[in-house]
Amino acid sequence: MTWDEKLNILLIGGGMISEQVVLPTIFQERRKGKINRVLISSLNSGIIKRLQGLFPKEEFIGYPDPEKTDPNKNFPELYKDALSDLGDNGLVYVATPDHLHTPMVIAAIDTGYDVCCMKPLCLKVEEAWQIINKARERNAYVFTEYHKRKDRAVRAARYKYRKGELGEMLYGHAWIEEPKYMPLEKFKLWAEKSSPFEYIGTHYVDVYYYITGLKPKRVIAWGQKKFLVKHGKDAYDAIQAVIEWEDGSVFWIQSSWVCSPKNSAMTNQGLQLSGTMGEHWADHKFRNLYFLTEEGGFDHYNPNFFKAYDSWEEEGGVEYVGYGYESNSQAIDDVIFLHKKTEGLPPEKAAQKRAQIIGRWEKIGTRALPIHALTGVAVNEAVRLSVENGSQYVVFKDDMSPKLEVN
């Protein structure tokens, strides 16, 4: 039977990022003719019921079925049934809390599917290598959704740096901060298993690596617990880290998720880089555009990440635009490309072709494939190790595993 050049999609996880970015992207790509069936597996049927209410015009199969199960009964392993039901030409999105990524990514690969995983890929270098080796063994495409790589401000910095216009890197600074309702409400079930650095600071670790191609050499970090511990969460309010890279350049990242919910945007974020021949400065919150409305108040409006606009194709329709959309749809386009290039080939030839294409993408380095996502995982683990050992310096072994520096 000839393939219709459409994918079947399984989304594992039904939280905030699924609601706001992943599902709108998947449904838009289906309207473009790239997707057939959509399956969603979540912890309980109450989440599936909520998603049905948010997307009343979109068809999808929910696991567990809200018509047959208690909305409060949890099914943490049900995604395995959904994997069994996905069918040919499948792509799996993993959008669960960070500490749950590894078994889900590996299960998807073992079942024969490609993967798009929300950042970070995982939280331990040991687990990252499990994924790297498994993906290579099965010639699986595993894409970590570091959407800042699609931000035109970041892409511009990479282009200028790699043309030599910034010279050699000297130092840089990034900041990314989110409001109190993130750990207290959105992530209340797992905030203690993560931190503002591991959840959002990792974006800028990847940004520096993406721009420069440099590997981290040494890390030192500090963390504070003052607000969340008073509200029942043994989690870090803020973490700051300094990363020394292999060329001697230094990059400072500040992260927090206890900002005021009355902020003029959900996220404070930006990037500054200084090199021997030039500098780069970008406020990723203030894009020189704002709205002031009676209903919403003052809003620093970022049109670049993920926003809805009038459709150019249908009256009353919606089109989602931005680097959040482009990053999530990249995985769909890549997997369709892989299937097209290997369709009809004998299994051995198809595996060789897949390995060739994925190897070329690894060499280019624009997609965060597992060997590239390893850097963010390693720095995340190093930051946690430093903070929990009195802000000691942490260095890296040959396999990127972090260890305390011996004085």
CB atoms within 10 A of CB 37: 17
pLDDT at residue 121 in the model: 98
Q: Is residue 384 part of a domain?
A: no
Type of residue found at 348: E
One-letter amino acid for residue 40 of the chain:
I
Looking at the domain assignment, is residue 29 inside a domain?
yes
pLDDT digits (tens, 9 = 90+) for 70-94: 999 999 999 999 999 999 999 999 9
pLDDT tens digits along 261-281:
999 999 999 999 999 999 999
Whether residue 56 sits in one domain with residue 142: yes
Residue 58: inside a domain, yes or no?
yes
Q: Let me know whether 33 and 18 are in one domain.
A: yes
Strand order in the sheet with 402-404: 279-283, 268-275, 169-179, 250-259, 238-245, 216-224, 394-396, 402-404
**Pair (266, 164) in one structural domain:** yes
Mention every residue, 6+ apart, whose C-beta is less than 8 A from residue 273: 157, 161, 166, 169, 171, 172, 211, 279, 280, 281
- β-partners of residue 293 are 297
pLDDT digits (tens, 9 = 90+) for 1-33: 678 999 999 999 999 999 999 999 999 999 999
Domain annotation covers residue 395 = no
Give me 73's structure tokens: 């009964």
CA distance 182 to 380: 19
331 lies in the same domain as 250: no
Q: Are residues 292 and 160 in the same domain?
A: yes
**How many domains does the chain divide into?**
2
Summarised one tens digit per residue, pLDDT across range 283-321 is 999 988 999 999 989 999 888 999 999 999 889 899 999
Strand partners, 253: 174, 241
Distance CA 385, CA 198 (A): 12
- In whole angstroms, give the CA distance from residue 260 to residue 16: 19
pLDDT at 34 over 80: yes
Alpha-carbon distance of 303 to 290, in angstroms, equals 10
> What percent of the chain is modeled with pLDDT above 70?
100
3-class DSSP string for the chain: CCCCCCEEEEEECCCHHHHHHHHHHHHHHHHCCCEEEEEEECCCHHHHHHHHHHCCCCCCEEECCCCCCCCCCCCCCCHHHHHHHCCCCEEEEECCCHHHHHHHHHHHHHCCCEEEEECCCCCCHHHHHHHHHHHHHHCCCEEEECHHHHCHHHHHHHHHHHCCCCCCEEEEEEEEEEECHHHHHHCCCCHHHCCHHHHHHHHHHHHHHHHHCCCEEEEEEEEECCCHHHHCCCCCCEEEEEEEECCCCEEEEEEEEEECCCCCCCCEEEEEEEECCCEEEEECCCCCCEEEECCCEEEECCCCCCEEEECCCCCCCEEEECHHHHHHHHHHHHHHHHHHHHCCCCHHHHHHHHHHHHHHHHHHCCCCCHHHHHHHHHHHHHHHHHHCCCCCCEEECCCCCEEECCC
Question: Is 34 part of any domain?
Answer: yes
Average confidence score pLDDT of the chain: 96
What is the model's pLDDT at position 197? 98
The pair of structure tokens assigned to 375 is: 């850097």
Assess if residue 406 is contained within a domain. no
Asked whether residue 168 falls in the same domain as residue 78, the answer is no
CB 38 within 8 A of CB 332: no
Work out the pLDDT band at 328, boundaries 50, 70, 90.
very high
With contact defined as beta carbons under 8 Å apart, do 370 and 144 qualify?
A: yes
Return d(Cα 57, Cα 23) in angstroms, integer.
13
Residue 42 lies in domain: 7-147+318-368
CATH number at residue 331: 3.40.50.720
Are residues 132 and 169 located together in one domain of the fold? Answer: no
| 259 and 275, same domain (yes or no) | yes
Same domain, 174 and 104: no
Choose one of 304, 331, 347: the last residue of a domain: 304
Residues 237 and 326 in one domain: no
Segment among 73-87, 121-135, 305-319, 322-336 with least mean pLDDT: 305-319
CATH number at residue 231: 3.30.360.10
Quick one: average pLDDT of 366-390?
Answer: 98
Neighbours of 81 (CB within 10 A): 13
Give the CA distances from residue 290 to residues 128, 179, 303, 376, in Å, rounded to whole numbers and listed in that order: 40, 19, 10, 32
Q: Are residues 169 and 130 in the same domain?
A: no
Higher pLDDT among residues 407 and 45, named by residue: 45
Q: Is residue 47 part of a domain?
A: yes
Domain end: 251, 270, 304, which one? 304
Query: Rounded to an integer, what distance in angstroms lies between the CA atom of residue 237 and that of residue 194?
Result: 11
Q: CA 73 to CA 71: how far, in whole Å?
A: 6
Please state whether 296 falls in left (phi above 0), alpha (psi between -120 and 50) or beta. Answer: alpha
How far apart CA 371 and CA 215 sit, in angstroms, is 12
Instruction: State whether 223 and 101 are in the same domain.
Output: no
Does 381 reside within a domain? no
Q: How far apart are CA 323 and CA 321, in angstroms?
A: 7
Which pLDDT value is given to residue 1?
62
